Amino acid sequence: MDKQPTCLVVMGPYRSGTSLLSQILARLGAHFGGWQSLHPGPNRLNPGGYYQRPEIVLVNTRLIKSAGASLGHPSSPVDTCRLADRTLLDGIDLSWSREHPVWAMKDPRFCVTLKLWIDAGKLDPGCTRIIRVRRSERSAANSVLRHYEVRNFCGCDPEVALQMTRSYDEAAEWHVRSLGLKACEMDYEFLVANRRQGIRELAGFLDIDDGNLIDQCVQLIGKRRALLRHYLRKFRHRQFVWDGVVKTIGAWRRPSDD
């Protein structure tokens, strides 16, 4: 009997480092579906990319809302499983994951919805692993307030942002504790401060012991390096350069406020 592919589900509160972990997992060989299927693309707030598939984000959002909750105030995983409309998962297409020994999905909303995916038969618990990302609640909440989209989930309110972060973190912990799936828990601050050790722990969880690959992953950590790579990629495209020139000339031509 052929070995079934391994599915990695990356979860953690918004702005906790799930995108960075997904970028590292992709470099280690996990298949997220290809750049053309991921949205939004890299930007200055997340220069390494978000590694999210729009259809997965959409169905997770609808599941949370169908349980009578909101993204800023989600129900617990237990209540979400009890109240949500799981038929929303009927049309989800995971055919892109076929033929890949390790594939992955990333969405902070999985903190609340993962059990629904398993109960609906969309994920095989025997082949599914959790990558749980943690970050200081205050740091994650402050980052939420700087993000153009996510801050709207909590009404741009610092205390609501903190409570939202705590709710998602507690929901992720519940999944790790209750489902009995293999899980790797990674602290964002630890990873940034101890890059090589953190990468080795993550690679070890995937039974990977490739020194060159680990070295490549170590270089992915660091906001300044990520921003530099992001803008270097952009400058390779003529349209981006031209748009920048046009904006600069326009700024010069505008009358001064003085």
pLDDT at 173: 98
Q: What is the distance between the terminal CA atoms of the chain, rounded to a whole angstrom? A: 76
Residue 172: φ, ψ to 5°:
-65, -40
Class of the domain covering 6-221: alpha beta
Sign of the four-CA dihedral 59, 65, 71, 77: negative
Sign of the four-CA dihedral 233, 188, 176, 214: positive
Between 222 and 27, name the one with better pLDDT.
Answer: 27
**CA-to-CA distance for 13 and 25, rounded, in angstroms?**
18
Instruction: Give DSSP secondary structure letters for 179-244.
Output: H--EEEEEEHHHHHHSHHHHHHHHHHHTT---HHHHHHHHTT--HHHHHHHHHHHHHTSHHHHHHH
CA distances from 104 to 124, 127, 134, 167 (A): 13, 11, 18, 23
**CA-to-CA distance for 109 and 123, rounded, in angstroms?**
16
**CA-to-CA distance for 125 and 11, rounded, in angstroms?**
16
Average pLDDT over residues 54-83: 97
Average pLDDT over residues 3-18: 95
In this structure, what DSSP letter does residue 75 have?
Answer: P
Given a cut of 80, whether residue 44 has pLDDT beyond it is no
| pLDDT tens, residue by residue, 175-209 | 999 999 999 999 999 999 999 999 999 999 999 99
Domain boundaries, the chain: 6-221, 230-258
Token pair, residue 236, equals: 């390779």
pLDDT at 255: 46
Given a cut of 70, whether residue 24 has pLDDT beyond it is yes
pLDDT at 234: 54
